[in-house]
């Protein structure tokens, strides 16, 4: 039998463990609830303010209007120029990021020795930690002069410069997620292909990439969503001219850049101009939300299980 003092010590320890076991689920639930409630609060705020905006401005005029000048008389509230600028920046960024990111992922997964991979991958991911305002000034002071040397008609602020740098910024996302998907492909598939006489490039492109296709597509869609929501790079480098144009050398304005412009404090609270922040924000939220749903659908549909 244990002495009374030692038995009391064990009883106290067991009670403390029981209290912790009861408290931890409650604490973790509260932490999860905070994030959920925050999301609900954001959505409710967006819906409420956007509804008040559309009480004053017709919804169809906002969606299909081709001129955006809510701060200048005569006022127009057509969001298509902002949507055009946002999609132009995003498409240019994806044309830069997806090929480079996928090529980097293939190299890291299939070609790089372990020592090289352990050095290159963290270095690539450092790009994700660079403040976006630094990327913006990099675009304005380095990329834009190069573009203007090649295309003399390009403006100081243009969509091409901003799109290229946004693409550079999201390369780590594409590379990291794609490389993780490729690394999860079983080694037996590679060994089987090598046994049949396939080269390393054939194994990478015809075995590994198709097997990891769901993860690669999901990384591309998530990078697309990240590019759509980028703010500071496009604010600094793309300009503030909401024009409906297909020329990437022109100055444009994105939805996020407009929100920054109006949020500087010069617009009175409760006015129609102030309400445009939430209408544009809701449009951006819906696009991003649909893209995330698409990414999850693609990941489930093309997922390979081994």
Instruction: Enumerate the domain spans of the chain.
Output: 4-56, 68-301
pLDDT tens sequence across 166-181: 999 999 888 888 888 8
Q: Where are the alpha helices (DSSP H) in 107-143?
A: 114-126, 132-138
pLDDT tens sequence across 191-250: 888 888 888 888 888 888 888 888 888 888 888 888 888 888 888 888 888 888 888 888
Question: 49-61 burial, b for 16+ CB within 10 Å, e for fewer?
Answer: bbeebeeebeeee
For position 28, what pLDDT does the model report?
A: 86
> How many CB atoms neighbour CB 282 within 10 A?
19
Q: Which contiguous run of DSSP H or E holds residue 69?
A: strand 68-69
pTM greater than 0.85:
no
CB 88 within 8 A of CB 228: no
For position 59, what pLDDT does the model report?
A: 87
CATH number of 68-301: 1.10.3720.10
Q: Which residues of the chain have pLDDT under 50?
A: 1-2
Q: Work out the widest C-alpha separation in the chain, in whole angstroms.
A: 93
For position 3, what pLDDT does the model report?
A: 54
Cis peptide before 74 (omega within 30 of 0): yes
3-state secondary structure of 77: strand
């Amino acid at each position: 039998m244990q002495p009374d003092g030692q038995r009391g010590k064990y009883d106290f320890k067991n009670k403390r463990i029981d209290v912790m076991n009861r408290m931890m689920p409650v604490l973790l639930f509260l932490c999860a609830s905070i994030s959920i409630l925050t999301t609900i609060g954001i959505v409710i705020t967006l819906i409420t303010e956007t509804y008040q905006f559309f009480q004053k401005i017709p919804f169809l005029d906002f969606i299909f209007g081709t001129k955006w000048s809510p701060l200048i008389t005569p006022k127009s509230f057509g969001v298509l120029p902002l949507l055009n600028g946002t999609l132009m920046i995003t498409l240019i960024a994806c044309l830069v990021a997806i090929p480079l990111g996928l090529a980097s992922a293939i190299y890291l997964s299939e070609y790089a020795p372990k020592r090289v991979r352990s050095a290159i991958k963290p270095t690539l991911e450092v790009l994700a930690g660079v403040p976006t305002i630094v990327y913006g000034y990099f675009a304005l002071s380095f990329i834009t002069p190069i573009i203007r040397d090649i295309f003399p008609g390009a403006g100081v602020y243009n969509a091409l410069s901003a799109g290229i740098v946004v693409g550079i910024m999201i390369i780590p996302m594409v590379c990291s997620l794609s490389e993780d998907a490729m690394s999860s492909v079983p080694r037996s598939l590679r060994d089987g292909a090598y046994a049949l006489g396939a080269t390393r490039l054939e194994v990478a492109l015809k075995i590994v990439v198709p097997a990891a296709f769901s993860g690669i597509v999901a990384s591309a869609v998530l990078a697309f969503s990240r590019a759509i929501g980028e703010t500071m790079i496009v604010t600094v480098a793309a300009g503030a001219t909401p024009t409906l144009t297909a020329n990437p050398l022109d100055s444009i304005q994105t939805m996020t850049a407009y929100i920054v412009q109006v949020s500087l404090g010069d617009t009175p609270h409760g006015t129609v101009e102030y309400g445009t922040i939430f209408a544009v924000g809701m449009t951006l939220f819906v696009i991003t939300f649909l893209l995330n749903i698409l990414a999850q659908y693609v990941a489930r549909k093309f997922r390979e299980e081994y």
